[in-house]
Structure 1
C-alpha cells in the first residue's frame, strides 16, 4: 500500500469558463440554495449526536509553506460514521421515505421522529434503498436506512476493501460486490433498482435522475455553513481547495459559498487523483468528459470516472481550476497530520480526506503552480478533511499506528 511509484508532475487545469462576476441565479438555486440549506440544517441539527465538527487552524503548517492562514475542517468523527457523507446519504434517505409515506397516506405530515419510532413501519419496511459506493456514501445510506426503517442494498466496486464492506454491513445492509470500477457499480445499482422496484439514493446524478442527488448535496452544505460560522471574525478564505470524485462535494461547497459571498467568494480549486481525473479532463474540454483507465488510486473515495451532471452545472462556471495529485502526496499528508507536524494535536485523516490539503502543499512547493493559483504570502486557505480512518487496518498500515494510538499521542 505504501510502496508507490514516483509521483507524476503536478497538473493544473484552469477553467476557461469560470465567471467570477456571474450572479448566483435561479438556475443555480435550483441545485443548491440557502433556502434548502435551512431545511437541511433544521433537520440534521435535530438528530441525536449532532454537533458541529471542529475547524482546526494549522498555524505552523501555514507558516512553513509561506501563507497567512490554513484551516482544516475535520470530519473524522461526524455522527460516529467517520466522514462528512453522514450528512448527505442519510438525509436523502429521510427525504425519500417521507415523500413515499406521504404519497401512500396523502395529507399526513411525516417527521423524522415518526420514522425513527416506526410509526409508518408497515410502509417503510417494504421499501428498499440502494446505491453504489466506494465506502463512505454507502455507509451513510445504510445508516439512514437502519435509523429510518427501510432496507438497503449497497453496491461496491471490486476494489472496495473488506473493512469498508464490513462497516456498511454493520448497519444491516446487504453488500453486493461488482466486478468493475465505481461507475459500473452505479449502473448495476440503477439496473437492479429498476428491476426490483427499489429507490436509488446516489450522490451522482445522470439524465433522468436529479432529485435525490440534489438532497444529498444539500445535506453537505451543513458542513460548509459550520465552517463559515467557525472562521475567525472578519476573516474569510482567499482560496478553497476541495476534493472531488463525481463532483457532488465540491459543487455543494462552491454553490453555498457562491450564493453566500457572491463576487467576494474565494478562488475555488477542485482536487482529483491523477488516476481518476474526470473533472480535470472536463475543465480542459469545457464539457463533461470521462476519466480513462482503471481508476487505480489509494484515494478510493475519489475513484470515480464520470462527472455528476448536477455538479457540473455549478462547477462549469463556479470553479477556477482543477489540480490533480499523486497517491504519494495523499499518503505523505496522512502521516504529516498523524505525527502532528502541522503544529497541533495529531489528526486522524483518511486517504481521500486529505486530498485538498495535499494539493495545497503540492502547489505551495511548486513556484510555477503557486503563482498560477495566486497562493501568495497573504493567502488564507480553507480545506475539508472529509474522512477519518474509515478502514482502520489500511489506515494503520499507511501511518504505522492505529487511529487510537495517534489520538493518544
Structure 2
C-alpha cells in the first residue's frame, strides 16, 4: 500500500464505557433530539441561501487507504461563511432573540423574518451577544447578530489569525483579543457578559450554562441529517471520524446517529490534535479532564483545552474511540486534497476541516491502528470536512498556493453519491 501520509504515530484509545446496547433515552434527548432537530431544520432550511452541502465520494483516497468507501461532507460552501459553524451559532442567536422579544412582548409570535426586517428592532438593538472563538463559531455568531439585528462582541485567543479576526469584524462585531488560550477567552467572555448584561452564545457548556449550547448542537445536526439523506440508498457507513474541539460537534453527530439508527449506528471515532486533547484525556480518565500546555496546533479551530459538559454526557458512552494526530497529518491531508488524483478532483479544505480525514489516512497507514479500528477492505467511512479556506492567507502558507488557484469543485446539492 502506498504511503498515505508521512508516518504520523496516532494515539488511539478505545472507550471502555462505550455502550452499543444503551437505548437513546430521556437523558440523551434532553441534550439533542430529533424533535428539537426538526425545529432547527424547519428554521434553517428557510433561510435565504440555504442549500445542502455536497457529499463527495473520494474513490481515489478510499482505494489508497484500502477501504471500500470514503465519503467527505464538504462544508466549504455553507452559506457565505465557508464552515459548518454557520448552522450553530447563528441559529442560537435567532433562538435567543426570539425568546427575549417574547419575554418583553408576551403573546407576540416571533419569526426569523420579523427579526430580519427589524420589526422588533427597538428590542433587539439593545441586546448584545458575545462568545469566545478561534474563528468559525465567532463568525457565525457575528453573522447571526448582523442578520437578526443585535450587537455583538467576540473574544479571540492571542493566536487567532488576523484574517479570521477581520472576517468576524466584517459582520459588524467588535473583536477583543485575549492574552491567552481559547479557554481563557471563554472565561473572559463570560465575565464581561455578566458585568455588562450581555448574552453568551457559546458552543461549549459549563456549570450554570447549558441551554444555548443545546441550540448550537441542534443546528449542527442538520449537517448530519443531510449526509444521511445523501448516502447511497443501499449503503451506510461502518465508521464516522469527526473532529473534537470542545465536543459539541462530535456530540451532535453522536446523538443524531444514535437516536436515528440505534444499535445499527456506525463506529464513532473522535479526533483531536496531539497538543489539544481534552476529549482523549477525558476518555482515559473517565471524567472531564483539561488538556495541558499552550494548545498550540495548526488545527486552530480544535485548539480547545476544556470539555463541554453537555457534549461529554453523550460522548462518554456514545463514542467508541478517541484518537489524536500530529499537525503534520492535517497539513498532508490538506495538500492531498488540493492535489487531487486520478479519481478525485482537487478540493480546498481548511486545517481544522481535514482532521477527520487526516485521522482516517493516518490510521490506514498504521498497522496497529488499522486493526484496532477495523478499517478493513469492506469499511465504509464518513468524515466531515467542516471548513474551507476560512483564512486564505493561512491556507496558502500551509498548502503552498492560494485557494483560488485550485480549480473549483462543483458545489451544488448532491442528493446521492456513488
Relative to the length of structure 2, the TM-score reads 0.95
Q: Counterparts of 1:215 and 1:309 in 2: how far apart (Å)? A: 15
Match of 1:19 in 2: 19
Match of 1:3 in 2: none
Shift of 1:402: 1.4
Structural RMSD (CA): 1.0
Match of 2:190 in 1: 190
1:172-251 mapped onto 2 (5 Å cutoff): 172-251=172-251
Q: Counterparts of 1:198 and 1:81 in 2: how far apart (Å)? A: 24
1:10-409 mapped onto 2 (5 Å cutoff): 10-341=10-341, 343-408=343-408
Shift of 1:343: 2.6
**1:93-123 CA-partner distances (Å, limit 9, x unpaired):** 0000000000000000000000000000000
CA contact (8 A) 1:356 1:383 kept: yes
Shift of 1:8: 6.0
CA contact (8 A) 2:72 2:382 kept: yes
**1:286-329 CA-partner distances (Å, limit 9, x unpaired):** 11100000000000000000000000000000000111000000
Shift of 1:407: 2.6
Q: Counterparts of 2:278 and 2:103 in 1: how far apart (Å)? A: 38
SS of corresponding position for 2:406: helix
Q: Counterparts of 1:111 and 1:346 in 2: how far apart (Å)? A: 40
| CA 342–256 in structure 1, closer or farther in 2 if over 3 Å, else same | farther
CA contact (8 A) 2:115 2:149 kept: yes
**1:29-48 CA-partner distances (Å, limit 9, x unpaired):** 01111111100000000000
| CA 266–408 in structure 1, closer or farther in 2 if over 3 Å, else same | closer
Q: Counterparts of 1:210 and 1:234 in 2: how far apart (Å)? A: 38
Shift of 1:10: 1.1
Q: Counterparts of 2:278 and 2:377 in 1: how far apart (Å)? A: 31
Q: Counterparts of 1:180 and 1:91 in 2: how far apart (Å)? A: 28
CA contact (8 A) 2:8 2:362 kept: no
Shift of 1:84: 0.1
| CA 201–276 in structure 1, closer or farther in 2 if over 3 Å, else same | same
SS of corresponding position for 1:193: helix
SS of corresponding position for 1:80: coil
Q: Counterparts of 1:190 and 1:327 in 2: how far apart (Å)? A: 30
Q: Counterparts of 1:182 and 1:342 in 2: how far apart (Å)? A: 40
Structure 2: 5+ residue stretches without partners: 1-5, 410-418
| CA 298–342 in structure 1, closer or farther in 2 if over 3 Å, else same | farther
Q: Counterparts of 1:260 and 1:8 in 2: how far apart (Å)? A: 34
**1:119-152 CA-partner distances (Å, limit 9, x unpaired):** 0000000000000000000000000000000000
**1:381-401 CA-partner distances (Å, limit 9, x unpaired):** 000000000100010111122
Structure 1: 5+ residue stretches without partners: 1-5
Misfit runs of 4+, over 4 Å:
none
Relative to the length of structure 1, the TM-score reads 0.98
Q: Counterparts of 1:192 and 1:147 in 2: how far apart (Å)? A: 23
Work out the number of aligned pairs and report it: 404
Shift of 1:342: 7.5
Q: Counterparts of 1:19 and 1:220 in 2: how far apart (Å)? A: 23
**1:18-74 CA-partner distances (Å, limit 9, x unpaired):** 000000001000111111110000000000000000000001110111100000000
| CA 148–14 in structure 1, closer or farther in 2 if over 3 Å, else same | same
Q: Counterparts of 1:145 and 1:257 in 2: how far apart (Å)? A: 30
| CA 342–212 in structure 1, closer or farther in 2 if over 3 Å, else same | farther
Shift of 1:341: 3.0
